């Protein structure tokens, strides 16, 4: 989406800076969060994932592990 007078050109930021910005925006949303009603399908999927995580807690990854995996995949994509 091209920038507008009210929306800056985020492509001028480095990828790490954009990711940090996303995190900051997300944190600000969480701080002001209001309850969101899930659809029945969303609630069912959330419960399925919760049960899956409980059944195999060793399969969970920390955010640092996820970051490393994502960075590795991104680096591979740039080499193609």
pLDDT in tens, 57-68: 888 888 999 999
Q: What is the pLDDT averaged over residues 1-20?
A: 83
Residue holding tokens 């969480």?
30
pLDDT value, residue 10: 87
Q: Report the C-alpha gap between 50 and 52 in whole angstroms.
A: 5
Q: Report the C-alpha gap between 61 and 72 in whole angstroms.
A: 15
For 11-64, write each residue's pLDDT tens digit.
899 999 999 999 999 999 888 878 888 999 999 999 999 999 999 988 888 899
pLDDT value, residue 3: 64
Token pair for residue 70? 């994502």
């Amino acid at each position: 989406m091209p920038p507008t007078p009210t929306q800056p050109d985020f492509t001028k930021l480095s990828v790490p800076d954009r990711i940090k910005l996303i995190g900051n925006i997300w944190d600000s949303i969480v701080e002001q969060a209001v309850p969101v009603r899930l659809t029945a399908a969303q609630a069912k999927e959330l419960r399925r994932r919760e049960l899956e995580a409980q059944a195999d807690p060793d399969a969970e990854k920390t955010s640092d592990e996820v970051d490393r995996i994502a960075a590795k995949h991104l680096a591979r994509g740039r080499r193609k």
